[in-house]
Structure 1
Amino acid sequence: MAQKSLKTLAARNARTLNRTHLISLAIHLTYLLTRTFLFPRKPLPYALCSFPALGIEYWFERIGRPTHTESGEVKRAGEDLEAKGLTEWMWDVLYWTWGVVVLVVVLGDWCWWGWGVVPVYSAFAAWRTYSGVRGGMGGLMGAGGEGGGSGGGQQQQSKRQAKMEKRGGQPQQKVVR
């Protein structure tokens, strides 16, 4: 059964990479032909905005392209190109770059400013992640006395703990198995 999942992943990765390369080729070729024959466009913004996307595409090719043995068996299926996290973010950058290039072809050079959304969104996502981690560790920092807990270093009780102490009983500890 494991070989079947490898074959499925390898086929899906190969289809995804082939489709990605064809779309990228069509978009960039359209831009270059439009720039050459119809409207003069600035080459520097194109280079600055397209090279990260082309680098991402190259990276996907390196990690995702399946390799086969001489007999046709899957030797390595490649990494999952539908993975969450960084891979998903890289796809977003690639799609956004394609959209900006198409807008530049249709509307003009001022659309290169649309690519500035990528670093702004990245900074926002990094801040949100940092804030979530910091918020999640708030209780740990307060318990150690280092994180600026309130009440002169005492731990703050939950409502349940306060009720149990008020009744005179100790709350039972949960056993983690």
Structure 2
Amino acid sequence: MAQKATKTLAASNTARLNQTLYLTLAIHLLWWFLRALIYRSSLSRKSITLYLLFSAPQLLIQFYFERLSRPTLNEDGAVKRAGEDLEAKGLTEYMWDVVYWSYGCITLAALVGDYAWWLWAVIPAYSGYAAYTTYTGMRGGYQDAAGVPQPGAATSKRQAKLEKRGGAQKMQYR
């Protein structure tokens, strides 16, 4: 069972990347199919330009994930490199949000028309909101909803009780 974590990460990365690839192909083919065959009158230069502009971030993020997280194998089939974790918090999580939101926008644009691309404005608006709340939280000292400053995570219940009683614990020598 050598390198079990590496093998598990490689398997989960491969499964998620394959799933994302198939979903991307299906959604983009749906857009092209509906625009080329059913809504032929609305297939214009403007429509194609909007499609290319608003689907580019999703395609670039997917290419980035492929390069960064696709496992590489040795000649004997052993995992050489598992790739980066696709379940990581922070920027990776935000990039998955962009990918999924893009899927929704592309699907809606295929079904209802070019006005659905306006939904893309939610992504920068959410980014601005997240940045503003983070800034105000840091400036205010991370207060709760009632405006009460929260103690640091390092204080335990015992330590909080001792501070409430009036100070630190006294040392006893025997």
TM-score range normalised by the length of the shorter chain: 0.7 to 0.9
TM-score normalized by structure 1?
0.75
Partner residue in 2 for 1:5:
5
Partner of 1:34 in structure 2? 34
Aligned residue number for residue 22 of structure 2: 22
Q: Report which structure shows greater RCO (CA 8 Å, sep ≥6).
A: 2
Q: 2:96 aligns with which of 85, 91, 95?
A: 91
Structure 2 counterparts to residues 3-152 of structure 1, below 5 A:
3-39=3-39, 40-41=42-43, 42-136=47-141
Identify unmatched segments of 5+ residues in structure 2. 144-161
Letter in 2 for 1:121: Y
Kept in 1: contact 2:54–2:120 (CA 8 A): yes
| TM-fit CA distance, 1:133 | 2.3
1:115 and 1:13 map into 2 onto residues whose CA distance is 27
User: Helix, strand or coil for the counterpart of 1:80?
Assistant: coil
Question: Given residue 96 of structure 1, which amino acid in structure 2 is its aligned partner?
Answer: W
Query: CA-to-partner distance for each residue in 1:54-76, whole Å, 9 max, x for gaps?
Result: 00000110111000111111011
CA distance in 1, matches of 2:2, 2:133: 38
> CA 1:137 to 1:92, structure 2 compared with 1: closer, same or farther past 3 Å?
closer
Q: Distance in 1 between matches of 2:5 and 2:102?
A: 32
Q: Size of the alignment, in residue pairs?
A: 148
Match of 1:157? Answer: none
Residue in structure 1 matched with residue 151 of structure 2 by the alignment: none
Task: Determine if contact 2:34/2:111 at 8 Å carries over to the other structure.
Answer: no
Q: Among all aligned residue pairs of Structure 1 and Structure 2, give the percentage whose two residues are the same amino acid.
A: 51
Please, which runs of 5 or more residues in structure 1 have no aligned partner? 139-159, 165-170
CA distance in 1, matches of 2:169, 2:133: 33
State the partner residue of 1:149. Answer: none
The amino acid that maps onto 1:25 is L
Q: Quote how far apart the aligned CAs of 1:2 are.
A: 5.6
Do the aligned residues in 1 keep the contact of 2:10 with 2:71 (CA within 8 Å)?
A: yes
Deviations 1:104-141 (Å, cap 9, x if unpaired)? 11111111101110110111111122222223389xxx
Q: How many angstroms apart in 2 are the aligned matches of 1:137 and 1:113?
A: 34
Deviations 1:140-162 (A, max 9, x none): xxxxxxxxxxxxxxxxxxxx99x
**Aligned in 2, Cα 1:46/1:83: closer, same or farther, shift over 3 Å?**
same
TM-score (norm 2): 0.77
CA distance in 1: counterparts of 2:77 and 2:104, whole angstroms: 37
Query: Structure 1 residues 5 and 46, CA, compared in 2 at 3 Å: closer, same or farther?
Result: same
